[in-house]
Structure 1
Amino acid sequence: MATPDLSELLLPGIDRAKGAPLLRQVYLELRRAILEGALPPGARLPASRALAQRLGVARNTVVAAYEQLLAEGFIEGRVGAGSFVSRDLPQGLEPPPRAPTRPAPLPIAIPNMVQPGEKPFNTGRTSWDEATSRLWRQLTLRRLQAPDPAMLGYGDPRGSAELREAVAHYLGAARAVRCTPDQVVITAGAQQAIDLVCKVVVSPGDPVWIEDPCYPAFRAAMQAAGARLVPVPVDGQGMVVAEGLAASPAARLAYVTPSSQYPLGVVLSMARRMELLSWARRTGSWIVEDDYDSEFRYGSRPLASLQGIDEAGRVIYIGTFSKVLFPGLRLGYAVLPQELLQPFISARVLSDWHPPSLQEGVVTDFLADGHFAQHLRRMRQRYRLCRDTLVEALRDSCSRFLDIDAPDQGLKLLARLRPGWRDTEVSALAERVGVIARPVSPMFMSGRPIQALMLGFSGHEPGALKHAARLLGDSIGRLSPEPPAE
């Protein structure tokens, strides 16, 4: 079989300026030629000395590349005849793509989900004062100086017993959650808990109630799981349970954010809570309570958790340390009814086995030593200042375009646009000047969406919030309002 000119095949892929060893480059290019069929099974390779001269490399480099290919079975040696591409390889080998393929689009637009970055008014950001920073360093160093032997092996997929006990104690005191440490599973943030719920509870085609508008990441997760989404409207008292009953009375699951509806910020009334729990008890359905930022109330105390008044064990309670500490920690938790506990743990094992042991230890100490409560008090004061600063700045710069109310809870505010402006257009224009103003209308699934902007104030300095409010006002002012609909 004729041997192609290997120098023409290999030289375009060999670059001395790359910094990668020449041996590695020659080996990879030879392997590519075999995988792509340019060197078919049975083809004879040139002598190592001849190929080295053509490539301008040392003969030892080619010899070592041949030896690696021989060891891996790509080529075979024949005594007195030389080296050949192995005849055991199938024809038409498919090489791996040389460049990453474009990922399949998510079922919901990325701009409506949490985005990385420091630009105001991006959401999902937290503050970190010097007191917390100092304590965190001390606790981390303490853990490293006397490491738990368990940290050097694989851990409990539920999370460490000490952290689960601390979380159960905290939730019972702060949110009236009724649970034992055995019902707590530590997760990689709330999103992993949602993903595990999808795997354990939801099958393709199952109807699932979701608030309309809804947290986009939950909506995307349920769509990816193949659930049939049933949008349930939200009014001033939260999810309109009667609408869910009319649309799909035997839904498998309902997702709610009762303490602060995402994104509207309303609280699920006690009457609606009891109606929702009655439905779940009667039908055997499940409720996911996403309690994502209930720690931050600036006026009255929040209602107790929905899980705390669930007598039938139908509520899956989800929380996270991302909002109260920082998102990069990647620690959250789920409180499971006994019926779901073992399947959830099994799914957790298959997902990523167990939480990171060092971070678990530091958070455990932070909770158990009383630092967590002090950190929360300081952050409430800071975020209240940021909220008030943003509200005042928006009223100064944007009152012609926006209706602004100071929220009583949470880490973001909802600014409703006056008639004539569209939130998607305002958001796109604001992003050009370095301001993240997330549009709310795409978070609706049915009915007439409101035109509003979601503006985060946590994790941003007051001066940056003031400047961003002026930029936002200038951006909206450049748009010509549409005439109001008849």
Structure 2
Amino acid sequence: MLAIDRDSSTPIFQQISEQIQQEIVAGSLSAHQTLTSTRTLAQDLDISRNTVRRAYEQLIIEGFIESKPKAGYRVVAHLPSIVHQSETAIQNRYIYKNLIDFMETFDKLEFFPQKDWSRAEQKMKLQGLQHVQPANGDLDYRIQLSTFLKRTKQIEVTPDQIVIVSGFNEAAGIIHTLVDFEAVSVVDPLAPNAQEIWKTMNVNVNFFKLHDDYQTWSKPPISLLTANHTFPNGNFLTTTERQSLAKKLIADHKYIIELDTDGTFNFEDHPSDSLMTYAPENSFYYSNYDDTLGSSLCIGFLVIPTKFQSKFQRLYQSFPSRVSQWQQRIIANMMADGSLTAYLRKLENVYNQRRKVLMTSLKMAFGEKINFIGSNRGTFIVSKLDTDKSVKMLCQIAKEHHIIVGDVDRSWQKGPLPYKIIVFSIRQVRIDEIKIGIRKLSKLWNL
């Protein structure tokens, strides 16, 4: 009989799938053996039938069982290869059950659209894949992505302007090859990898603040900024500021790289547009699925101006894309059938609820000692603290009690800051964890 721990942080469907997997591996359930029906198992465990279905679907994806029409679920004839994890791997996997993670240390994939992904994958298998994909990625995916960008970011581009990449490092290399610049202006603060990558190309880096005067940072031919939701201070450009900047770029024949990796979710009334909307021939746009489908997916996309299309094809046509075409086509199918949009809408509702609870909890815990800065966008909240204690000390105290918060001092090039900030992400914490974690921090930090 399967055992369900209703107080565990592990979802019930996952508890069921793991226990059945263990029985299959141990031989308690043999090849071709039929599993208990979803209706019966749901009644036996006093849980929803959908929960049992989800557990069985997980086992199908992992290759342990199969489903036959009118025959229910049964164990497969040949089990998938199982690699026994090291003690360290097992420890790393399960330590997160007792961790309150405000910094996305481990992606739980709690709301990953597993059923929609599996359905899109089955459709992809029926469609088939070409043996060698184009240099800029799967065409069907780029077609769907161009429509998706127009709807969500007001970016009107053709599929040929989109280049599918494994991450920003690859995108940066492509941009450098197309524009051929010796110096770049980079917004400060920014995620360290986006700052450091230019040094590997022997490019001189000048740093500027997002709202610095245009003339102070626009001398290099190209600049990198995040107009939607700057990590880690939540700063952004208004529509008026974007339009003004676009006019200057066009007049001065300069280029902008817009890094948009945390601007999917907008909790404000006005839409989130892109600089490429106003200066399409002077803007490069990069984004990925880190804040939606998970950072381990490692699929990003770069939009290039039309003037660089022929140069890209000339330089890269002999180097077909190595980004998973399998995954690209799955995402394309999810865009086409609307399931990705529905998933993003669900995430936005969940994150908005978490965001409100987090901000209320922080205010209740720290009162006038804490204020929030930045925009109401993205999946993190920037808190400004009034304390004599260092950010490093506060983060260390929290970590010792299994709470991870964001020390982002290394994201600034021009420091130290005149004030203390800590970033709280809402991606990997449930509402109950938020309340528990902030209550603990209130006692531990004693601001």
Residue of structure 2 equivalent to 1:341: 309
Aligned pairs (5 A) from 1:285-300 = 285-300=254-269
Q: Does 1:229 align with 2:232?
A: no
Secondary structure class of the residue paired with 2:403: coil
Letter in 2 for 1:133: Q
Q: Does 1:169 align with 2:147?
A: yes
- Taking a change above 3 Å as real, the CA distance of residues 176 and 126 of structure 1, as seen in their structure-2 partners, is farther
Aligned pairs (5 A) from 1:230-379 = 230-234=206-210, 239-242=211-214, 245-246=215-216, 248-310=217-279, 313-344=281-312, 353-379=321-347
The structure with higher relative contact order (CA 8 Å, sep 6+) is 2
- Answer yes or no: is the 8 Å Cα contact 1:253–1:288 preserved in 2: yes
Q: Distance in 1 between matches of 2:370 and 2:317?
A: 48
Pairwise CA distance, 1:207: 2.7
Q: Distance in 1 between matches of 2:310 and 2:385?
A: 47
Secondary structure class of the residue paired with 1:438: coil
Pairwise CA distance, 1:457: 0.7
- Answer yes or no: is the 8 Å Cα contact 1:440–1:451 preserved in 2: no
- Taking a change above 3 Å as real, the CA distance of residues 223 and 402 of structure 1, as seen in their structure-2 partners, is farther
Pairwise CA distance, 1:358: 1.2
- Taking a change above 3 Å as real, the CA distance of residues 433 and 194 of structure 1, as seen in their structure-2 partners, is farther
Residue of structure 2 equivalent to 1:456: 425
Q: Distance in 1 between matches of 2:251 and 2:339?
A: 42
Percent of aligned positions with the same letter in both sequences? 17
Letter in 2 for 1:378: K
Pairwise CA distance, 1:448: 5.5
- Taking a change above 3 Å as real, the CA distance of residues 342 and 471 of structure 1, as seen in their structure-2 partners, is farther
Letter in 1 for 2:410: P
- Answer yes or no: is the 8 Å Cα contact 2:385–2:421 preserved in 1: yes
Residue of structure 2 equivalent to 1:440: 408
Question: Aligned-pair RMSD on alpha carbons?
Answer: 2.8
Letter in 1 for 2:196: A
Residue of structure 1 equivalent to 2:120: 139
- Taking a change above 3 Å as real, the CA distance of residues 276 and 470 of structure 1, as seen in their structure-2 partners, is same
- Answer yes or no: is the 8 Å Cα contact 1:397–1:469 preserved in 2: yes
Residue of structure 2 equivalent to 1:466: 435
Work out the number of aligned pairs and report it: 349
Secondary structure class of the residue paired with 2:209: strand
Pairwise CA distance, 1:352: 7.6
- Answer yes or no: is the 8 Å Cα contact 1:241–1:275 preserved in 2: no
- Answer yes or no: is the 8 Å Cα contact 1:417–1:423 preserved in 2: no
Q: Which runs of 5+ in 1 are unaligned?
A: 1-115, 482-486
Pairwise CA distance, 1:442: 3.0
Q: Distance in 2 between matches of 1:379 and 1:452?
A: 26
Letter in 1 for 2:166: A
Letter in 2 for 1:208: V
- Taking a change above 3 Å as real, the CA distance of residues 129 and 233 of structure 1, as seen in their structure-2 partners, is closer
Q: Distance in 1 between matches of 2:411 and 2:342?
A: 35
- Taking a change above 3 Å as real, the CA distance of residues 273 and 163 of structure 1, as seen in their structure-2 partners, is same
Moved more, 162-171 or 343-352: 343-352
Deviation digits for residues 317-371 of structure 1 (CA, Å, limit 9, x no counterpart): 1111222222222212111012333555677678883321211111010000111
Secondary structure class of the residue paired with 1:231: strand
Aligned pairs (5 A) from 1:85-164 = 119-123=100-104, 125=107, 127-129=109-111, 132-144=113-125, 146=126, 148-150=128-130, 153-164=131-142
Moved more, 211-220 or 169-178: 211-220
- Answer yes or no: is the 8 Å Cα contact 1:127–1:458 preserved in 2: no
Letter in 2 for 1:251: P
Pairwise CA distance, 1:254: 0.9
Residue of structure 2 equivalent to 1:96: none
Deviation digits for residues 127-177 of structure 1 (CA, Å, limit 9, x no counterpart): 5437x2211122223333x25141xx2211211111101000111122110
Deviation digits for residues 214-259 of structure 1 (CA, Å, limit 9, x no counterpart): 232211212333322222123xxxx3243xx23x542121111111
Deviation digits for residues 432-485 of structure 1 (CA, Å, limit 9, x no counterpart): 2222222233322226523101110113222222222233333323xxx8xxxx
Letter in 1 for 2:194: F
Pairwise CA distance, 1:296: 0.6
Q: Which has the larger radius of gyration?
A: 1
Q: Distance in 2 between matches of 1:213 and 1:419?
A: 22
Residue of structure 2 equivalent to 1:208: 184
Q: Distance in 1 between matches of 2:359 and 2:196?
A: 31
- Answer yes or no: is the 8 Å Cα contact 1:292–1:319 preserved in 2: yes
Residue of structure 1 equivalent to 2:350: 382
Q: Which runs of 5+ in 2 are unaligned?
A: 1-94
- Answer yes or no: is the 8 Å Cα contact 1:121–1:457 preserved in 2: yes
Secondary structure class of the residue paired with 1:458: coil
- Taking a change above 3 Å as real, the CA distance of residues 429 and 147 of structure 1, as seen in their structure-2 partners, is same
Residue of structure 1 equivalent to 2:15: none
Pairwise CA distance, 1:429: 2.6
Q: Distance in 2 between matches of 1:177 and 1:364?
A: 18
- Answer yes or no: is the 8 Å Cα contact 1:398–1:472 preserved in 2: no
Pairwise CA distance, 1:277: 2.4
Q: Distance in 1 between matches of 2:296 and 2:164?
A: 15
Structure 2 residue corresponding to 1:188, chosen from 145, 148, 166: 166
Secondary structure class of the residue paired with 1:210: strand
